[in-house]
A and B are shown apart, each in its own frame.
Chain A
């Protein structure tokens, strides 16, 4: 069938930030949906957000309450959310209590009552809360399956988009006829993991639309439910072709080691133990970008933005002015109970807002610690998704990671995340001539050439300064306890050698 011959399904805004992306752009108009989940999982709040986003006086929403939470208490609590607009009641949103007919009569009478109200109001949206209590009577004259079938047919024919809310258990998915009839099935889960509550949303089924599969984190705040798509809303964005442009660190010698700088759109990892200057390098990287008119984001977890900017000032780098000019955002993502996806969403929002070209995550260890324990298991996967999404649109990401210094091995990262980085720069302490000195080496540059030199550096009032030539007179530098060796002068001072290994 040609595209122009297909029926166009209108997509309605869900009113839930992040959910439109998850359901493929909005909820299909006239669809018959179930919101299932345990008590307190946010079902009613989600339905209210949809209702407030779509109801109008011309096409109102009918909200049928049955047994359970009374409408008065429901509204008492729901009006605390910022999306709640009391002016919409009762002309645009009508609450109708069906308790009596449910308690005293059978499903046929319930259907009759729903039919009467729908025909009277011509609603765009119908919600039944809770549907579970509506069909609780097994001795009903009308067969449950027939009731559901007729209700779904009637509401679709009357051009209503419907939500049935119910406290269902996942075991019921197989046998309950409601799940067969439904066009959309939204499952909300909340689990306690150690001391934290982890909320996840899954679109188990959504007819006619390409929804994002998997479990999506969501949070309930004073703005209601906010969902965080696993794809961070970047699925529709076209990936930029790989760039050959090089981004400078503002450290000439380091740029040379990187064969001209970091390739635009790369993910760079700076690994080293405490005090080796990871944050200094990261700050120089972001400041250099700003000097070249490339807005930047710094996500910090271990210190406040003021302290971060102050430290930059001590290195002669001004991070205050670009912040005021909207060229730089220092995000302080507070520890405790953050979900990995909402943290990443904050970063993405900031990137989008200022059109950032460079992003610093300082540090991955701090990032992980800021997450609630239940989300730490997903850290690497989520980080991968974010890096993939951001680098795809041309943002260059520099992450720092602290590694335990060992004198028997040379780890790049304790996170096993080198697979998601294009370039790795390793910093470490070495013991030379009775001093604890610092060395750096470029471990890898994906798709590019880089120096294989091990270079000594210092952290001065001007930031990281790479000293002299490569340390040619030592063996075992990466062990941290090198041994001095005598070499001919030519090898000791490779004056013309940039140390670049040219790949063929």
Chain B
């Protein structure tokens, strides 16, 4: 799932350059997931999944220790980590990848890869999911 998380982030980096959004790519990926999955699993359902993903990511990304998932599923208390994410506006940082990868990993665990990809395809364009190695020349 790190590979897929990386590709979603890379896509958002590209999309960010085009429209100059204010949020770092990791937050944009997270928010898109929150909105699309929230419709499907409900706000409380997404909040539970995101909390678990955050817990799983913390040991690998200590700077996430202050982060929390709010009742509506949004990320709070990012502080320094948001600044780090901001620094990585033009590229995906390891911390970003891990957080998103953990969330996607939970989806794959519960729903399987085929269904997870089907759900993501409704939010991101198909090319993000095609030819995994060609996007960045490496498997993450």
**What is A's interface to B at a CB cutoff of 8 Å?**
65, 70-73, 75-76, 79, 86-91, 94-100
A79-B44 contact, Cβ under 8 Å, with A73-B110, A90-B122, A96-B39: no
Task: Tell me which residues across on chain B come within 8 A of A86, comparing CB atoms.
Answer: 112, 114-115, 117-118
Hey, which chain B residues are within 8 Å of A95, CB to CB?
A: 39-41
**What are 10 pairs between A and B in contact, CB < 8 Å?**
A70-B42, A72-B111, A73-B110, A76-B111, A79-B112, A94-B39, A95-B41, A97-B38, A99-B44, A100-B43
Question: What's the least CB distance linking A197 to chain B, in Å?
Answer: 28
Shortest Cβ distance from B113 into A: residue: A86
Tell me whether B78 is interfacial, beta carbon within 8 Å.
no
Interface residue from B44, B49, B110, B122 paired with A100 (Cβ < 8 Å): B44
B119 within 8 A of A: yes
The residue from B42, B49, B110, B119 contacting A89, defined by CB atoms under 8 A apart:
B119
Shortest Cβ distance from B18 into chain A, in angstroms?
A: 25
A97 touches B40 (CB 8 A): yes
Q: What residues on A are CB-neighbors of B122 within 8 Å? A: 90-91
- A247 to B49 CA separation, bound complex (whole angstroms): 69
Which residues of A are found within 8 Å of B125, using beta-carbon distances? none
Q: Which of A89, A98, A100 has the most CB of B within 10 A?
A: A89
Chain B residues with a Cβ under 8 A of chain A: 36, 38-45, 49, 110-112, 114-115, 117-119, 122
**A97 touching B115, Cβ below 8 Å:** no
Q: Is the CB of A97 within 8 A of B118?
A: no
Cβ-defined contact, A87 with B118, below 8 A: yes
Q: Which chain A residue lies CB-closest to B106? A: A72
CB of B19 to closest CB in A, whole Å: 24
A-B interface, 4 closest residue pairs, ranked by CB to CB distance from nearest: A97-B42, A86-B115, A86-B114, A99-B42
Main secondary structure of the interface of B (DSSP, over half): helix
A90 to B111, CA, bound (A): 13
Contact present for B39 and A97 (CB under 8 Å) = yes
Whether the pair B42, A75 counts as a contact (CB closer than 8 A) is no
Whether B110 contacts A76 by the Cβ 8 Å rule is: yes
Q: For B43, B117, B118, B119, which residue has the most chain A Cβ atoms within 10 angstroms?
A: B118
Residues of chain B within 8 A (CB-CB) of A88 are 118
Given contacts A71-B41, A89-B115, 13 further A-B pairs with CB under 8 A are A70-B45, A73-B110, A79-B111, A86-B112, A86-B118, A89-B118, A90-B36, A90-B122, A91-B122, A94-B39, A95-B39, A95-B41, A98-B42
Across-interface contacts of A72 in B (CB, < 8 A)? 40-41, 45, 49, 110-111
Q: In the complex, what distance in Å separates the CA atom of A71 from the CA atom of B41?
A: 5
The residues of B that contact A96 with a CB separation of less than 8 Å are 39-40
Chain A: minimal CB distance from B33 (Å): 13
A79: chain B residues at CB < 8 Å are 111-112, 115
Inter-chain CA distance A98–B40, complex, in Å, is 9
A123 vs chain B, min Cβ distance (A) = 14
Most buried by A among B41, B43, B44: B41
The distance in angstroms between the C-alpha atoms of A99 and B38, with both chains bound, is 11
The complex places the Cα of A76 from the Cα of B119 at a distance, in Å, of: 13
Q: Is the CB of A71 within 8 A of B110?
A: no
Give the CA-CA distance A195 to B107 in the complex, in Å: 38
Cβ of A90 and Cβ of B112 under 8 Å apart?
A: no
Closest chain-B Cβ to A490's Cβ sits at a distance in Å of 85
Rounded to whole Å, the gap between the CB of B37 and the closest CB of chain A is 9
Shortest CB-to-CB span from A193 to chain B, Å, is 35
Pick from A71, A73, A76, A91: contact of B42, CB under 8 Å: A71
| Residue of A whose beta carbon sits closest to that of B112 | A79
CB distance from A201 to the nearest CB of B (A): 28
User: Would you call A65 and B42 a contact (CB within 8 A)?
Assistant: yes
What residues on A are CB-neighbors of B44 within 8 Å? Answer: 99-100
By a CB distance below 8 angstroms, the chain B residues around A89 are 115, 118-119
B34 CB, min distance to chain A CBs, angstroms = 13
Residue on B with the closest CB to A102? B42
Query: What is the bound-complex CA distance between A98 and B110, given in angstroms?
Result: 21
**Which residue of the partner chain A has the closest CB to B42?**
A97
